[in-house]
Chains A and B, each alone.
Chain A
Amino acid sequence: MSVTPGNSPLQATGELPVVPRRRMSPPMKGVIWAAIGFLLLNSIVSGIDPDVLHSYVNQVSVVFGWMGAMVGWLFGVGGWDALVKPAFGFPLKWKETVGWRRYFEYSTDHKVIGIQYMVSSGLGFLIAGIAAMMMRLQLMSDHMWLFQYSKGYLTTVGVHGTIMMFSVGTVFMVGGLGNYLIPMMVGSNSSAFSRLSGISVWMVPAGIMTVAFSPLLGDWTTGWRGYQPLASQDGDGIIFYYLGVFILLLSSLIVALNLVATIVFKRAPGLTWNRLPMYAWGMLAVSFLNIIWIPEIMMTFILALLAKIVPLPLFTAVGSPMVYLQMFWLFGHPEVYIVVVPALALWMEILPVLSKKTLFARQWGVIGLVFVMLLSGMVWAHHLFPTQGNSTILPISFFTEMISIPTGFAFMVAIGTIWKSKFTLNTPSLLVLMSMFNFLIGGLTGVFLADPMVNMQLHDTFFVVGHFHYTIIGGMVFSSFAAMYYYLPKFSGRTFNDKWGQFGAYWIFIAFNATFFQFFIVGLRGMNRWVPVYPHYLMWQNFEISICAFLLGFGFLYNIGYIIWAWVKGPAAEENPWKAKTLEWYAPSPAVGTNFETEPQVVNGFYDYSDGAGEAVVFQS
C-alpha cells in the first residue's frame, strides 16, 4: 500500500514516498535505548549516593533510572532523529515510512497518531480488564483463595483503576478519536503541533507498562489515587505508580495543547464557533480541563513521590493527610468529566446523522458541555464527605447536584433530536442509546450520593463502585464502541454486518447491567470496597456478579475482535455511508494521505436536516 500521510514532508513534491532502507524497528531501538538510559542514570545516582550500604537499585536511583529509560525510549522510537536533532539544526535523516510499519514508529500524521493512541489505549483496556477479572475471581469466595495476602488484591485493584482511568478513560476518546478526527472535523490537513503529538503518543505504552509492572517492586494499596501518607507505608511499587501516571498525564497534556490549538487556530474558512462540530466542542471543553488540572495533579504526584523517597513529611505534617486528598480530588473529579464529556459530545455528533433530523437545541448542548467543564472544578469534596464539616459539605453537595443540570442538557438535545425522527436503529445508534441509559443510571445515583446523609451511609461501599462504573464504562466505554462502529468506514474503508454488531451491543449491555446494577444492591446490603474478604451472607451474590462480569469481559473481547475483523476483512464501505455532513466525511475513506486536496469552505451548519437545507461545505477550486 502506497501512502502519503497528510502532512508528510514528501507530499509537496507529488511523488510517492520512498521506503527507507531497512533499519532496526523503532520500538526495538526504543527498548534498547531505554535499557541503556536506565542503566546509565541508575548507575550514576547509585554511584554518588553517600550511603555505602545502599543497594545498586534503590528508591532514588530507580526514579532517575526510569527517567533515563523514558528519555531513551522516546529518543529510540524516533524522537532523537525526528525531533531533537532537527531542533538543534542537524540534518533530518528521518523519513516517514509506508504501510503498516508507520504505526510502529514516530509519525506526524494525525490519523496514524490517533490510531496509535487508540491501540495503546486498547492495550491498557485489556490489561486493566484482566486485573478486573482477577478481582472478580477473588470475590467469588468470601475468604482469601486467589491472592495470598490482601495487599496483592489491593494492588490489583490499583493497577486496574490506574490503567483504566489514565490510559483508557483519559486517552481513548481524546488522544485517540480526538487526534484522528479533530483536524479533519475542522477542515485541516494536520494538527497544530504534529511533531510534538508524534512523540507524546509513545508515552502511553511506556506509562502503561510502568504501572502494569509496578507490583514487581512491591505491593501498593492506594488504588488509582496514590493516597499519601498511606503510600509512604507501601512497597516500592508505588514509586512506579507515580512515575507511570506522570508520563501518561504528560501525554494527555500534550494532546490537550495540540487539540485546543488545532480547534482554535486551524479551522477552515467559514467554520465559525456557531458551526463548530459538537465533538470538537467536547474536545475543546475537555482539553481546557486537561490544561488546568493535569499540571496540578502532576505536581501533586511529584510531591507525593518526594514524600516517599526522600522522605519529606509533606502529607503527614500538621494534620495534613487531608492535604493530599484535597489536591488529588481537585483533579480527580474533573477527571470524571474529562472521561465523560467526549461521550456526551459524541451522542450529539452521531444522533442527528442517524436521525436525519436537525440537531435539537444545539446552543444548549454547547452550553451544557461548557458548564459541565466549569462546574466540574467545584464538586471535588464530595469524595471526602466523611472527613468534612457542614460548612464544606453543604456547598459542595449543592454544586454536585447542580452539575446534573448542564449534564442533562446533553440528554435534552439527544432526546429532542431523535423525537419523531426517521431514526436508524443500527449498531452505533443502539450503543449511543445504551450509553445514555447507562449514564442516566450513573448520573441519578450520583445525585443520590451527593446527598450528605446518603453519602455517609454508602461511602466506601459497592454502591459507589456501581455508580462510577455506570458513568465510566456505561457512558464512556459504550460511546467509544459506538464511535468505533460509526467511524469504521472512515478508519478502514470497510463496514460491518449490523446483525453481528447489534449482537455484540446487546451482549455487553445485558452483561454490564447484570453486573453493575447488582453492585448497587450488594452495596446496600453491606458489601465494602477495598476488601478481598467479606461476610459469608454476601457470597452467593458476589459469585453470580463475578459470572456476569466474566460474560461482560468476553462481550468486550467479542466486540473488539469483531471490529478488528471488520477493519481487515469486512465488506467495502461507501465513502459516506451515514450521509453525514461534517467535514471528516468529505475526506477520503479510508482516510489515508491528504485529508483535503483543496481547502474546504464551510457555508452552512453541519446538523441542518430541514427541507431545503443546502450543502454544509463547498470546495474552492
Chain B
Amino acid sequence: MAASSNQSNDVLYPMQTPLSRADLFKLKGGLTLFLIGLAVPILLLLEMRYVVAGGYVAPQVTQWPAIAATVAMLLSGLFTVAGSKSAKKANRPGIVRSYNWAILFALIAIILIGIPAFNGVLDPVSHYGETFIPTMGTIDVYLFFTWIGMLATRSRVKRLGNKIENYWGVYATNIVLWFMFVCWVVTWVQLYYL
C-alpha cells in the first residue's frame, strides 16, 4: 500500500487508511505468495538432510530445548491470536499487552532453538550435524525477522493510537508467526524423529 495524505498534508501510514474488502484480499494474497516463497528453502533443507545424512538421527542431539521452544512458540502464537481478537474490537491496549507476551515468548523460542544448534554437542562436520545446524539456523533467522515484525507491529499500534483505521498489520503478524510455528514443528519432527 502506498502512503496517502489527509487535508493537512500529513503523510499517512498504511494503518491509518481504511481498507476495503478488495484491499484486504490483495494483502492476504500477497502475504500468501510471500509465505510460499519462504517455505521453499525449508523444503530444500529437509530434502537435503535425507540426501546427505539419510534417516540418521544423532543420539546426542539435545531434546529439551526443542520441546521448550515448541511450547514457547505456541504460547507466542496464542498471544498473537489474542492480539488479533483485540484488534477486531479496536482494543489497542489489549493488542499491546498481548504483544508484550508474544514478543517475550518468541524471543525465548529464538534462544531455545539456537541452543541445540550451537551448544557444541553435535559435530558440525558430521553428515547429520552439517544439515542440522543450517536448518535450525534458517528457522532461527526466519523467526528473528518475524520477531522484528512483531516489535514493529506493537510499536506502530502504540505510537499511532487512535489514528489507526485498520489492523491488517496485527493480523498479518499473527499469520506469519503461525506459519513459522508450522515450519518449526515440521522441522523439529523431521530432524529429531524421522
Whether A291 contacts B130 by the Cβ 8 Å rule is no
Whether B2 contacts A299 by the Cβ 8 Å rule is no
A253 vs B30: C-alpha distance in the bound complex, in angstroms? Answer: 12
Distance from A272 Cβ to chain B, minimum over Cβ atoms (Å): 16
> For the complex, would chain B's binding face be called helix, strand, loop or mixed by DSSP majority?
helix
**Residue-wise interface mask of B (54-91) relative to A, using a CB-CB cutoff of 8 A (1 in contact, 0 not):** 00000000000000000000000000000000000000
Whether B134 contacts A312 by the Cβ 8 Å rule is yes
246-301 of chain A: CB within 8 A of chain B: 253, 256-257, 260-261, 264-266, 291-296, 298-300
Whether B2 contacts A300 by the Cβ 8 Å rule is no
A302 vs B133: C-alpha distance in the bound complex, in angstroms? Answer: 12
Instruction: Say whether, besides A194-B2, A264-B29, A299 and B152 are in contact (CB < 8 Å).
Output: no
Whether B52 contacts A314 by the Cβ 8 Å rule is yes
B7 at the interface (CB under 8 A from A): yes
Whether B13 contacts A89 by the Cβ 8 Å rule is yes
A317 vs B131: C-alpha distance in the bound complex, in angstroms? Answer: 12
A361 vs B51: C-alpha distance in the bound complex, in angstroms? Answer: 45
Whether B36 contacts A291 by the Cβ 8 Å rule is yes
B34 at the interface (CB under 8 A from A): yes
A394 vs B2: C-alpha distance in the bound complex, in angstroms? Answer: 51
**Residue-wise interface mask of B (15-38) relative to A, using a CB-CB cutoff of 8 A (1 in contact, 0 not):** 000000010011001100110111
A residues near B37, Cβ cutoff 8 Å: 253, 256-257, 291, 294-295
B40 at the interface (CB under 8 A from A): yes
Whether A89 contacts B158 by the Cβ 8 Å rule is yes
A residues near B25, Cβ cutoff 8 Å: 265
Whether A257 contacts B34 by the Cβ 8 Å rule is yes
B185 at the interface (CB under 8 A from A): no
A260 vs B158: C-alpha distance in the bound complex, in angstroms? Answer: 33
A149 at the interface (CB under 8 A from B): no
A323 at the interface (CB under 8 A from B): yes
Whether A299 contacts B4 by the Cβ 8 Å rule is no
**Residue-wise interface mask of A (202-239) relative to B, using a CB-CB cutoff of 8 A (1 in contact, 0 not):** 00000000000000000000000000000000000000
Whether B52 contacts A257 by the Cβ 8 Å rule is no
Which chain A residue lies CB-closest to B39?
A: A295
A residues near B138, Cβ cutoff 8 Å: 299, 302
B125 at the interface (CB under 8 A from A): yes
Whether B2 contacts A7 by the Cβ 8 Å rule is yes
Distance from A72 Cβ to chain B, minimum over Cβ atoms (Å): 17
Whether A317 contacts B127 by the Cβ 8 Å rule is yes
A291 vs B51: C-alpha distance in the bound complex, in angstroms? Answer: 24
B194 at the interface (CB under 8 A from A): no
A323 vs B158: C-alpha distance in the bound complex, in angstroms? Answer: 49
**Residue-wise interface mask of A (186-211) relative to B, using a CB-CB cutoff of 8 A (1 in contact, 0 not):** 00001011110000000000000000
A152 at the interface (CB under 8 A from B): no
B residues near A55, Cβ cutoff 8 Å: none
B121 at the interface (CB under 8 A from A): no
Whether A86 contacts B13 by the Cβ 8 Å rule is yes
A296 vs B13: C-alpha distance in the bound complex, in angstroms? Answer: 33
Central interface residue in B4, B37, B156, B160, by most chain A CB within 10 Å: B37
A327 vs B43: C-alpha distance in the bound complex, in angstroms? Answer: 12
- The contact of B3 among A9, A257, A303, A323, by CB within 8 Å, is A9
A443 vs B40: C-alpha distance in the bound complex, in angstroms? Answer: 30
**Residue-wise interface mask of A (78-92) relative to B, using a CB-CB cutoff of 8 A (1 in contact, 0 not):** 000000001111101
Instruction: Say whether, besides A87-B156, A295-B38, A312 and B51 are in contact (CB < 8 Å).
Output: no
A90 vs B151: C-alpha distance in the bound complex, in angstroms? Answer: 13
Whether B41 contacts A299 by the Cβ 8 Å rule is yes
Whether A296 contacts B51 by the Cβ 8 Å rule is no
Distance from B117 Cβ to chain A, minimum over Cβ atoms (Å): 12
B residues near A313, Cβ cutoff 8 Å: 125, 130
Which chain B residue lies CB-closest to A330?
A: B44
Whether A320 contacts B11 by the Cβ 8 Å rule is no
Whether A9 contacts B134 by the Cβ 8 Å rule is no
- The contact of A265 among B5, B11, B29, by CB within 8 Å, is B29
A residues near B133, Cβ cutoff 8 Å: 312
B12 at the interface (CB under 8 A from A): yes
Instruction: Say whether, besides A261-B26, A299-B138, A312-B124, A10 and B40 are in contact (CB < 8 Å).
Output: no
75-126 of chain A: CB within 8 A of chain B: 86-90, 92, 95, 108
Distance from B36 Cβ to chain A, minimum over Cβ atoms (Å): 6
- The contact of A317 among B26, B52, B160, by CB within 8 Å, is B52
Distance from A94 Cβ to chain B, minimum over Cβ atoms (Å): 8
A253 vs B35: C-alpha distance in the bound complex, in angstroms? Answer: 12
- The contact of A88 among B40, B130, B159, by CB within 8 Å, is B159
A426 vs B33: C-alpha distance in the bound complex, in angstroms? Answer: 40
A621 at the interface (CB under 8 A from B): no
140-166 of chain B: CB within 8 A of chain A: 151-152, 155-160
Whether A327 contacts B44 by the Cβ 8 Å rule is yes
- The contact of A295 among B41, B51, B134, B159, by CB within 8 Å, is B41
Which chain A residue lies CB-closest to B155?
A: A88
Whether A195 contacts B159 by the Cβ 8 Å rule is no
- The contact of A108 among B3, B134, B152, B157, by CB within 8 Å, is B3
Whether B30 contacts A257 by the Cβ 8 Å rule is yes
A residues near B22, Cβ cutoff 8 Å: 265
Whether A318 contacts B33 by the Cβ 8 Å rule is no
Whether B2 contacts A323 by the Cβ 8 Å rule is no
Apart from A13-B5, A86-B3, list 9 A-B contacts with CB within 8 A: A89-B157, A89-B159, A92-B11, A261-B33, A291-B33, A291-B36, A293-B40, A318-B52, A320-B52
Residues of B within 8 A of A (CB): 1-5, 7, 9, 11-13, 22, 25-26, 29-30, 33-34, 36-38, 40-41, 44-45, 48, 51-52, 124-125, 127, 130-131, 133-134, 138, 151-152, 155-160
11 A/B residue pairs, CB under 8 Å, sorted by A: A9-B3, A10-B9, A92-B13, A261-B26, A292-B36, A293-B40, A295-B38, A299-B41, A303-B134, A314-B131, A327-B44
